[in-house]
Chain A
Amino acid sequence: MPSNDLASLKPGDHATICSIHADESLHHRLSALGFRVGKRIELIRRARFSGPLHVRIGSTDIVMRQTEARRIHITPTTS
C-alpha cells in the first residue's frame, strides 16, 4: 500500500504512522502527545477553508494544522 501523509486522509479514515519528518522540537512535541511510529491514528474531522485537522491517537484528541500533518507519513488501514 502506498505511503501517504496524514493531511491526505478523509474524516473517518484510520491509518498507522510509518514515519515522522520533523525537526527536533516538533518531534519532541509530537512524541510527547503520543505520535510514534507504528501507532494507529484516526482523522475525526477537518475544518473548513483548509483549516486544522482533528485527529485521535489512542485516547487523546488533537488538532493540528495541515503543515504539521504533512510531516506525518501514514499507511491507511481499513477501520
Chain B
Amino acid sequence: MKRVALLGMPNTGKSTLFNRISGASARVGNWPGITVDLMSAKILLGGHIAELIDLPGIYDLHGFSDDEQVVRHFLENNEIDLVLLVLNTSQIDRQLSLGLQVRDLGLPTVLMLNMADEARRSGITVDQQAMTAKLGMPVALISAKYGDGCKESLQLAAETMNRIAHPAPEVLREQLRTDDRIEHEMEEIVSASVQMPMQMTDQLTARLDRIVLHPWLGLPLFFAALFILFEFIFTAGKPLQDGIAWILGYIRGGLLEPWLATVPPWLHGLLLDGIYNGVGTVAAFVPLIVLFFLVMTMVEDSGYLSRAAYLTDALMAKMGMDGRSFVMLLMGFGCNVPALMGTRVMRSRPLRLLTMLVIPFSLCSARLQVFVFMAAALFTPQQAPFVLFALYLMSFAATFVTAMIFKGQYHSNEPFILELPPYRFPTPRQIALRGWLEVSHFLRRATKFIVAGVVLVWALTNFPSDVPPASAYTFAGMIGNALSPVLSPIGIDGKLAIALIFGFVAKEIVIGSLAVIYGLSGDPLVQLMAQKLDWVQGMSFMLFTLIYTPCLSTIATLRSESRSNAFMWFSIAWSLLLAWAVSFVFYQGARALGY
C-alpha cells in the first residue's frame, strides 16, 4: 500500500482538503516515532490503494514546536510515497519557504495552492507553469472548500507518485539537518512567478476587527457572543437529551424488562441498572457533544477563536495560561468533556495540561441540577439565587487558586504568537464531517471506561445481596462509614457519602441516588432533606460536589487527551483534596461562628 502525507501550514485548509479527499472514512491511528494520534484514511490514487495521513499544520520543517517535531519524526520514521503540500495562495510569498524545505528532502511532492478562489478575489495571480518550472515540483491551484481543481490535482498527484521514487527514511534523516539558502531562493521565485498587490488588506476583515477587537467593546461583545452560543448549545441540546433519555427508558421498559424477566435478579440488576444505565449516561452526552463541536468548528474555522484569545490573554497570562485557555474554560460551564477535547487547539503540552487541570472546576450543567435541587430544599426562594451565584464564584476561585499554585509546574515556554486569519465562512459539509468524527471518537473512548465504572458502583451498592440496596449495610454503606472520620469534619454523613460516591460516575445521578438512599422522591424527599440537613451541611455538600471530580466521562476524557494515567490520578487527587479543604474551612468556620 502507498503512503501519502498531507503537509501544510496552519490555517491553509489542510484538514478541509483531507476531509474532501477522504470523505468520512477517516480514523485515528498511531505511527512509529511519534506520540500523538494522526488522522488517516484509505483513498484510491492512480490505481493504488493509498493511505492518506493528515500531519499537523506547521510553519517550518526545521522548527522546534511540538507539531514541527511530530512532522519531522514522522518523516524520519515512515516510508512516504508522496507528499501533498498545502499552502495558502494569498500568502504564498512567505509560505513558499515550507515548499522549498520539502522539495529539498527529495520526496515526490505536489504543491497544492489552496484558497485559490480567495486569492483570485484579492487580485493575486499565480503563473502555474512558471512556478512549476522554477520550483521543479508540480503545482496545482485548488479550493478545498468548494472542490475546485481537486480532481485534477489528485490526478497530478497520482502521476507524480508513480513517476518519482521516494527516498528511504534514513536519507531523509540526513537531509532534515540544515538549510540556509532557502530564504533567498524563495524571494526570487515569488518575484518571478507571482504578482501581488503591495499592501493587501481584506477590507471586510479589517472593518469587522475594528468592532470585534475594540479596546472597550471587544470583551463585552465576546461575552455576549459566548452567551448566545452557550444558550444555543443548551437550549437546543436539552430536548435532544430528553429525547434520548425517553428512548432509552422506552427501550428498557418496553423491550429489555420483559425480555430479561426470567434471568436471575442479580444479572437483571447488573445488565439494566449497571451496564444499560451506564451506557445511557454516556449516550445522554452525545447531543451536547455534537452541538458543541458543530458550534466550535464554526467558531474555529471562522477565525474568531484567535480573536477571542487576543481579547482575554492579558487576564489569562497572570494565571500562567493564555487566551485560548479562557475560551475552553467558559465552554466547560456547559460540559467539561467537550471543553477538555477542545484544548487540542493548544500546542504546548504544559499549557494544555494546566488548562485541563482547571477545566473540571467549571460548574457544568449537570452539577447545576444538583445545586438547584439542594438550594430549593434548604434555602428560601429569595436566598437560592445568591447561593447559586456564590457557587459560580467559588468555581472561578477554584480555577484561579489551582492555576496560581500549579502554573510553576506547568510552565509553558511557548511564546504567545497567533496568526489572525481573515474571517471565513465554513461550509456545512465541513462542519458536519468534523462533528461526526468527534462524536465517534468520543463514543469509542468513553464507553468502556464508563461501563466499568457503573458496574463497580452498582456492585458496591447492591452487595452483599441480602440487604436493601444502597443501605448502610452494602459495601457502599460500609465505605461511607469507613469514610466518616474524613467526611464528618465537613458535615457529610454516611448517606450523603453514598450520594457522593454515585456522583463520581455522573452528577446527573446524584439526585436519583439520594432518592434511592432515602427511599423517597419528589416533594417528600425535599421535605425530608430539609429536616435531616441544616443549611451549613447542605452548603458544605454542595461545595464538595462542585469541586471534586465531575464525572467518569470527564476522567476518561482527561486520560485519553493527556495520554497519561499519572496526570489523571493527579487531577482526581488534587480536586478531592481541594474539595475537602474548602468544605472543611466552610463547615468548621460556619460552626465556629455559631451557625
The verdict on A60 contacting chain B, using a C-beta distance below 8 Å, is yes
A47/B63 contact (C-beta < 8 A), A32-B97, A33-B419, A59-B91 known: no
Given A32-B97, A64-B416; A47-B311 close (CB under 8 Å): yes
**B60 part of interface (Cβ distance < 8 Å):** yes
B residues in contact with A21, CB < 8 Å: none
Q: Which of A44, A45, A50, A68 contacts B417 (CB 8 A)?
A: A68
Distance of A64 Cα from B322 Cα, bound (Å): 11
The listed residue (B64, B213, B317, B417) touching A64 by CB distance below 8 A is B417
Which residues on the B side are within 8 Å of A78 (C-beta)?
none
CB-based contact A32/B60 at 8 Å: yes
Q: What residues on A are CB-neighbors of B98 within 8 Å?
A: 32
List of B residues within 8 angstroms of A49 by Cβ: 314-315
* B90 on the A face (CB < 8 A): yes
Q: Which of B63, B205, B311, B418 contacts A28 (CB 8 A)?
A: B63
Task: Note all chain A residues with C-beta closer than 8 A to B209.
Answer: 44, 54, 61
Give the residues in chain B near A28, CB-CB below 8 Å.
Answer: 59-60, 62-64
Q: Which has the most chain A C-beta neighbours within 10 Å: B98, B315, B415?
A: B415
Nearest CB of A to B38, in Å:
21
Number of B residues with CB within 8 Å of any CB on chain A: 40
Minimal Cβ-Cβ distance residue in B for A46: B215
Contacts known (A25-B65, A29-B65, A33-B94); A63 close to B415, Cβ less than 8 A: no
How many angstroms from the CA of A45 to the CA of B463 in the assembled complex?
65
A-side binding surface: helix, strand, loop or mixed? mixed
Contact with A along B417-450 (1 / 0, CB 8 A): 1111110000000000000000000000000000
Interface residue tally for chain A (C-beta within 8 Å): 32
Any A CB within 8 A of the CB of B200: yes
Given contacts A25-B64, A33-B59, A45-B213, contact A59 B200 (CB under 8 A): yes
Q: Which residues of B contact A32 (CB under 8 A)?
A: 59-60, 63, 94, 97-98
Tell yes or no: B93 within 8 A of A by CB.
Answer: yes
Complex Cα spacing A26 to B417, Å: 10
Q: Is the CB of A25 within 8 A of B314?
A: no
- Which residues of chain B (515-557) have a CB below 8 Å from chain A? none
Question: Smallest distance from the beta carbon of B113 to chain A beta carbons, Å?
Answer: 15
Say whether, besides A25-B65, A34-B94, A47 and B215 are in contact (CB < 8 Å). yes
Residues from chain A with a CB closer than 8 A to the CB of B417 are 29-30, 33, 62-65, 68
Complex formed: what's the CA distance from A48 to B90 in Å?
A: 31
Please give the distance in Å from A46's CB to the nearest CB on chain B: 8
**Are B415 and A65 in touch, CB under 8 angstroms?**
yes
- Is A12's beta carbon under 8 Å from chain B? no
Closest 6 CB pairs of A and B: A51-B314, A32-B59, A25-B64, A61-B420, A49-B314, A32-B60
B residues in contact (CB < 8 Å) with A: 59-60, 62-65, 90-91, 93-94, 97-98, 183, 196, 200-201, 205, 209, 213, 215-216, 218-219, 306, 309-311, 313-315, 317, 323, 415-422
| 12 sampled A-B residue pairs with Cβ under 8 A | A25-B65, A29-B59, A32-B97, A33-B59, A45-B213, A47-B213, A51-B313, A54-B310, A58-B91, A62-B417, A63-B309, A65-B313
Beyond known contacts A60-B419, A65-B417: 19 more, CB 8 A cutoff:
A25-B63, A31-B183, A32-B59, A33-B417, A46-B215, A47-B313, A48-B215, A49-B314, A51-B311, A51-B314, A52-B313, A54-B310, A56-B201, A59-B201, A61-B420, A63-B310, A63-B313, A63-B418, A64-B416
